[in-house]
Each structure stands twice: as structure tokens, then as C-alpha cells.
Amino acid sequence: MATTFDLISPDFLTITRNNEWHLDAFNVPNELYNVQVWDTGVIYFSPKNNASEQEQAFVFSSAIHGNETAPIEICTDIINGLVSNTLAIKHPVLFIYGNPAAINIGERFVEENLNRLFSGRHTKADPESNAALPFENKECERAAKLEEYVTRFFELHPQAERTHYDLHTAIRDSAHEKFAVYPFIHGKPWKKQQFEILRAMGVTTFLLMEKAATTFSYYSSNEHKANSFTVELGKVRPFGENDQTKFAAAKQTLINLLKGTNFDGESFDATNYQIMTVFREINKTDESFELSFADNVANFTEFKKGQELAKEKGEAIVANEDGEAIVFPNAHVAIGQRALLTVLPTDISNNLV
């Protein structure tokens, strides 16, 4: 790696946006940290003087969807503080801007939803030879690279507890403004400490997934046994239109984690949280699919049994239970992809550590 930029002017986000799909790796001179840029949108920091204290290793990702700007701004502020040595941390961290090309056009993705391409979904095999086929598009190639970088990072810190927060904002408003998706953990217990960390960010609503997925957070959880979450911090807005006061707690909590602040899981109180589990996953199977409620209906809005949620091929899809609530409705997904989740409250008291 050759030393080139100082990442102050222009900053790392600007350099990333100027190199949408690739950037040759380089080192960044810094008194406090080993700083390495591994690719466009991928930057690694490790404190030089306290390697023995690095008991945790963090991945903070944003811009897996390019139009979700608030998490990009949060990560940019932290990166700039580290580069300028105005922020002192104890633990190593890998920052990822997932889809720079999508950032530049202000869209969720360019050709394919990056957050549906992990855990091997980015690569397809020839049906006859089983040999890997060329990547279908650049987002598939990017997903494969991001998996490699997360693997490299955790291998650099083999004894550290692993954590990955994949930061997002949602397409529509939510009855619970901030919420987190806890990937399927295959029967292992949920962690009180993680609930408390996310509560410090302002997140008190959790959606527990019940099957494997192709999301970035599930990849880190399943492949690397990381404490991993998709963290929804509010609603999608363009750069410059985010109310930074709404994200201050989230940003400060991320900084506190890097500084070594300990969060005590023993203070966990179930009454502080709204914990839900997936009841149904409704996939789009035909171009006729349409939602039966307005665009301004918020995530976690509850429906009564029998109320219509969507239509497809002229047939109504209705709520099966009273209180069935909607999450992530999107009629514009590709055929075969999830267009809507419905959720119900759940009790996890018998499987907590």
C-alpha cells in the first residue's frame, strides 16, 4: 500500500464518491492509528498504542442503500474525527460506505438491491459445470468484495468480540421511529447487552427474524458470529435535510463503543422494549402486485383480521390475525423478492443472556 491522501481535504466520503466502484488500497499517515483504505468506501482504523486492550472489533456500515443519507453523515463525522485525531478510541473499527454509485444518483441501488446479495447470493453457478459465472452486475461484485473485507477485518482481530451495525433509514415513516432488525440466530439466545446498546442509540423496537436471509447483517451474524443488526434510524431524506438532533444519540453511542464504554446488560428491563417477530413474509410473484394502503401508512401500523393488505392477480391478501402489523412494504421490488413483512409481539424472556 502506498501512502497518498491525508483524507482531510478532500475527505474520505468525497474520495469515495469520486471513485464509485474501485479505489486502489493505500495507507494514511496518522499519529494515533494505523489507517488503511482497502477500497472505495472501505477504511480501517486500529489504535497503535493499546493493542492488548482491543477486546472488541466493530464494523459500522452505511449506504448499503445509496439514498439513506443520515447514516452516511454519522459515519463521515466519526471518520473525520479519527483522521484529524480529534477523537480518541480504544477499539479497531472498519467503516463501509456500501454503494457509492447509488449515493451519487440518490437511489437505493443502481441495478440490484445490494442488501439482497450477501451470503453467496452475489454469485451464481453454471447449471452444467457448477463453475462460478461472471457477476451479473457491479452490485453483485461489490457484495462479494464487502464480504471479503469484513472477513479480513475480523481475521485481523481473532480474539476480539465482533460487532456489526449496518445503519439504515427507512423508505416510509414508522410508528416506532427507530427500530432494529435482529437477524436469525438459529436458536441461540438474544443478548441483553445488545438491547441496551441499541436503546442508548434511541432504538427500543426490535424485529426478530426467523429464517436465514441475504442481508449484510445476517451475513456477519451467521458467517462471523458477530453481534449484528440492521439499524433503522429514521426516514430517508436527501443530504442536508436530516435533523441531526434526531441522530445525536446514535452517533454518540457508536463513539462511546469505540472509546471502550461498557454497557451493562443486567440493567435490561423488558418493559423498555417493543419486541416483535415475523408472522408472515409476503413475496411479489407477479407484476400485478400492489399494496392496498397509502404510501403514508407507517411501518408497524396494525391491521385487523380480514383487512386487505395487498392484491396480486386480482386476489386479495388479507391480515390473518388481529394486530398484524406491516413492516418494509414495497411493491416495487423485483419479482420473487419480499414486498411486505407482517409482525406480531413476542416474548423472549426464556431465551436471553
DSSP assignment of 163-213, as one string? EEEEEEEESS-BSSSSEEEE---TTPPBPHHHHHHHHHTT--EEEE--S--
Q: φ, ψ for residue 120 (rounded to 5)?
A: 90, -10
Sheet strands (E) in the chain: 26-28, 33-39, 42-47, 56-62, 93-97, 161-170, 179-182, 205-208, 227-235, 274-283, 290-291, 302-303, 308-312, 315-318, 324-327, 338-345
Contact (CB, 8 A) for 64 and 168: yes
List Cβ neighbours of 40 (8 Å cut-off, separation of 6 or more): 15, 16, 19, 20, 21, 22, 23, 97, 100
As a whole number of angstroms, the distance between CA 174 and CA 231 comes to 13
97: Cβ contacts below 8 Å, ≥ 6 apart: 13, 16, 40, 41, 42, 61, 62, 63, 72, 75, 103
Longest dimension (CA), the chain: 65
Whether 232 is catalytic: yes
From 20, 139, 177, 232, the catalytic residue: 232
Sign of CA dihedral 192, 232, 78, 93: positive
Compute the distance between CA of residue 20 and CA of residue 37 in angstroms, rounded to an integer.
14
Residues assigned a catalytic role: 232
